[in-house]
Amino acid sequence: MGIGLGQEIRLEQKTVLSQRLIQSMELLQLPLLQLDERIDQEIAENPVLEQRSDSGDGHEDESYVESEADVPGMENPISHPTSDVASDKDAEVPADAIDHSSEGVEEFQVAADFESLYGDMTDESPARSQNWLEDASSRHSDLINSVTSPGETLSDHLMEQLRWFDLTPEKFSLCEKIIYNLDANGYLREPVSSLLPKDATKEERQAVRAALTFVQTLEPKGVGARTLQECLLLQIGPELPLAQEMRCLISQHAEDIEKNRFPQISRKTGYSFELIERILEEIRQLNPRPGAAFRRSENVVIQPDVYVEQMQDGSLQVRTARGRGSNLYISPYYREIYKQKATDPETKNFLRKKMSSARWLMEAIQQRQSTLQRVAEEIVEYQKDYFTQGSKALRPLTRQQIADKVHLHVTTVSRACAGKWLQSPQGIVELAHFFSGAIAKTEAPAPFYPAVVQGSEDDLDCVFSQNTVRSRIKELVAGEDKQSPLSDEEMVILLKKEGIKIERRTVAKYRQSLKIPSSRQRRSWK
């Protein structure tokens, strides 16, 4: 059989994502603050895209509104804010109608020389409006004010103390090396030997150990420790009450303390349960992370994307934050340049691309707003009991259920909810908080959550969400007898009596996710 070249026609369907579709999905996934940053970036890169400062009354200024139907390549336009401009009849000036006879050659030469000498210092962009300048100044001031001072670091604090002492250059250098090898909590995680060369002498090893001992005398107490036990022991001075007993428990019974084994500690030390509790109270006053106080605290700003308000009639109103995307418009200055016949084709082509890009961005932001509104409304409708009863009333919900309701792909719903926050009378929570797996119910009644039990036919076998079960576990632990705390198996029995079918290992997993210690560790020996 010979090998040859040939042509064939084949019909097939293939999903191809365009660059704009990919960017549209990226915009949908961005939270509000990141979307505003993206808008600022687009404004900086696209000269025809401008932003109107808010007037404060919530209404658009009609003087900005202008149809884009007269711009080629901008079919199916949506109204964007623009300013009053001249009509097309006045704007279109033939190039041959301009009279240059009165302009002197010398003036052109001066202009050419000025451009060649100072071209990089001139700005030929159109003059900005006063509103634009004030808005830009306000954003700049907000940016400057949001930058926090770095403050004093742990290394700075320790080095300042080190300079108070009259140390030899060798000891000062070793102490400095130790200080700059401490982690954020003030611990020396690296072995002391790693601070010296491999062929270090015995005297050099003794010198670095002495330097570490000296660093451990600096403030805050406990700095320079290599373990938690050493950190706590460094903070116990003779002036503290029960200092000797504290050293005894920390150095010899750390594991028993961690596992709350009062009987073993009492048998080995001869201390009473009351005395052990007093000693532990003193130990709890010590700082296990002495360097943490010098960390720069960064306030995480959360800007809700969705707001839920309860109206007087009990209904819930859902609205999405618009951000700065609703204030974008295409510059009337560049629109006029594009419409003029005197504008050269290269400039027109450039402006056409930039105006098309700006218009697409505004439409993509509008689409993001619409998608997020639909998804949020469906979530709120499904989880409406949450907004009156709290987390215990959350129903099992998957993203696929919401996707089926709003007729979108499940990945679109995932992108719409990613990183978004919702503010309601119950507080600020992530949209992901409303999605939870299901726990099957038993035939027993569920007196604690009657509203949740009444689900649809699809929900009858899975009426409890995982968040509901976690909330109930927290309530059981909060109300238990601390001298005889509930074990995981006992909580399984109680939950089954309430109609929640659950395994012991699942209770243990939920308890650990809530950072609740085991029953042994929760027991009080008073």
Task: Count the helix, strand and coil residues of the chain and give each as a percent rounded to the nearest 5.
Answer: 50, 5, 40
Which residues of 124-220 form beta strands (DSSP E)?
none
Helix 332-339 vs helix 345-382: crossing angle, to nearest 10? 140
Q: What is the pLDDT of residue 179?
A: 92
Residue count (the chain): 526
Q: What is the pLDDT of residue 379?
A: 93
Which residues of 12-107 form beta strands (DSSP E)?
49-51, 65-66, 80-81
| Whether 396 contacts 459, CB under 8 Å | yes
| Whether 465 contacts 436, CB under 8 Å | yes
Q: What is the C-alpha R_g of the chain?
A: 35
Block mean pLDDT (10 aa), the chain, length 526? 74 66 83 89 90 52 40 41 37 40 45 49 49 58 53 87 89 92 91 84 90 92 92 91 90 88 89 90 91 73 88 88 85 90 89 90 91 94 88 85 92 91 91 80 49 41 71 86 85 85 87 85 77
Q: What is the pLDDT of residue 216?
A: 93
Give the residue from 49, 39, 47, 85 showing the smallest Cα distance to 66: 85
Q: What is the pLDDT of residue 224?
A: 92
Q: What is the pLDDT of residue 131?
A: 56
Cα–Cα distance measured from residue 368 to residue 29, given in angstroms and rounded to the nearest whole number: 9
3-state secondary structure of 345: helix
Cα–Cα distance measured from residue 206 to residue 257, given in angstroms and rounded to the nearest whole number: 34
Paired tokens of 443: 């035939």
Q: What is the pLDDT of residue 247?
A: 92
Q: What is the pLDDT of residue 129?
A: 52
Q: What is the pLDDT of residue 417?
A: 92
